[in-house]
Structure 1
Amino acid sequence: MNEAPNLTAGDRLPGDPSKAQLIDRIIRVDHAGEYGAKRIYEGQLAMLKGKPEAAVVRRMYEQELEHLKEFERLMVERRARPSALYPIWHVAGFALGAATALLGPKAAMACTVAVEEVIDEHYRAQGEQLGTDEQPLQATIEKFRAEEEHHRDTGLAHGAEQAAGYPVLSAAIKAGSRLAIWLAERV
């Protein structure tokens, strides 16, 4: 989302979203992302039952539920449209979480690291786009960005980089995450 940094009427270029469109897009994509994260962790938890890493994943999952609840509130408050691809996020998120957890706990952590690195970039870019009159939304995004960064650090501390095929797995998950963000912003 690099179309309109610090959007004001004078800074907009043809084709840039209006401020209302930008806010709608931000809330829609962040809601979709938090829902996708919820589903990733649900897939991982389903496959990690009885493993020590399940407790670590559960803590991150509970934080994602708080993020999702806030974006659900913002969707109503700001009358933002949800992503029409919601059913895809439901299935794809769970499948990604389950598949990586089936590869082992370190692969599940590699998934977390890859997703959170993309989300960190994404939230940073959004923070730069929001104008000064959007401080509450900007503060929410920054708070969640810091929490997602902590999830990344947790994944690294639990052996993400030791997962078999880590560079390839990470690159594939990052590419998928970036595509999901692009789609959720628009659809």
Structure 2
Amino acid sequence: MVKQNALPGASVFPRRLGRVDGLLSELGRAMQVLDGSARAGRAYPAGKQDHAVAGGSAEGLTPAEQKHAAGLMRVNHVGEICAQALYRGQALFCGDAAIQNLLRKAANEEVDHLVWCRQRLTELGSRPSLLNPLWYAGSFSLGVAASRAGIARNLGFMAETESQVEQHLNQHLTDLPPGDLRSRSIVEQMRDDEIGHRMTAENNGAKKLGKPARLLMRAMSKVMTVTAYRI
């Protein structure tokens, strides 16, 4: 007599994972991203230099410089919240396994940026944006919509996103206080990674988006950056 280990009424055949399972998995991932429990896979670019937040200053920054640096890093943190949601939304309904893996790999690398920005905000005595759940939900929905446009446009959306982020990070390297070397080292590594993501998308057949789509993305990014700097 064969011993049965399955629960009464349970099928002896493994259940095939469906879209509901995928959505539940993404919900769990979103919670990790938003509650700060995600972990980086690479070392913190700012290293282990001494830092302090006392008397309104950090690492020799004036209170005004500290506040400004925190605002910029909060914007960068929101950008990584959006990148996580965007790429995972694109991957969820992508029909090509290779492209799906490419998108998820990029999302996983963006986790490092997310963790680094949050750590730097803590060092600066500040906090992430209060609107992060809204940013995540909006970006995830946008990613799902992009995934329905076909592989070439899906990758084109990724390439354009990374191109705009690259420009945005270069501007932050100009805007950061000269003495804020810790934030600068983080932003430089983020920029280098984003360049790699853009090139990966282009090398895999990304189709350049039309001008209206690019302008709309810039307008949405402007709203996000202005809002996240303060809230």
TM-score category (smaller protein): 0.7 to 0.9
Please name the residue that 2:173 is paired with.
127
Q: In structure 2, what residue type is equivalent to 1:112?
A: M
Q: Secondary structure at the match of 1:144?
A: helix
Q: Distance in 1 between matches of 2:135 and 2:170?
A: 22
Cα pair 2:118 2:127 within 8 Å, conserved: no
Give, in angstroms, the shift of residue 28 of structure 1: 0.8
Structure 2 gaps of 5+ residues are 1-60
Shift of 1:72: 1.9
Pick the aligned partner of 2:83 from 34, 37, 54.
37
- Where do residues 30-179 of structure 1 align in structure 2 (5 Å cutoff)? 30-48=76-94, 50-161=96-207, 166-179=210-223
**Contact 2:73–2:183 (CA under 8 A) maintained in structure 1:** no
Deviations 1:64-102 (A, max 9, x none): 011111112222222222212212111111011111011
Q: Secondary structure at the match of 2:207?
A: helix
SS of structure 2 residue aligned to 1:132:
coil
In the alignment, does 2:225 pair up with 1:181?
Answer: yes
Amino acid at match of 1:61: A
Instruction: Identify if the C-alpha distance between structure 1 residues 123 and 115 changes in structure 2 by more than 3 Å, giving closer, same or farther.
Output: same
Other-structure match for 2:22: none
Bigger radius of gyration among the two: 2
In 1, distance between residues paired with 2:137 and 2:110? 17
Q: Distance in 2 between matches of 1:173 and 1:106?
A: 18
TM-score, normalised by the number of residues in structure 2: 0.68
Q: Which amino acid aligns with 1:39?
A: A
Name the one with the larger helix percent: 1
Query: Cα 1:175–1:110, aligned 2, differ >3 Å: closer, same or farther?
Result: farther
TM-score (norm 1): 0.82
- RMSD between aligned residues: 2.0
Cα deviation for residue 173 of structure 1 reads 2.2
Rounded Cα–Cα distance in structure 2 between residues aligned with 1:170 and 1:125: 18
Q: Which has the higher contact order (CA 8 A, sep 6+)?
A: 1
Query: Quick one: distance in 1 between partners of 2:210 and 2:140?
Result: 20
**Contact 1:110/1:161 (8 A) holds in 2:** yes
Per-residue CA deviation, residues 104-150 of structure 1 (Å, 9 max, x unaligned), is 12222122122212211111111112233211210110111011111
Other-structure match for 2:5: none
In 1, distance between residues paired with 2:176 and 2:136?
A: 28
Query: Residues of 1 paired with 2:82 and 2:207: CA distance?
Result: 22
1:110/1:172 CA distance change after superposition, 3 Å: farther
Counterparts in 2 of 1:110 and 1:170: CA distance versus 1, 3 Å: farther
**Seq. identity, %:** 24
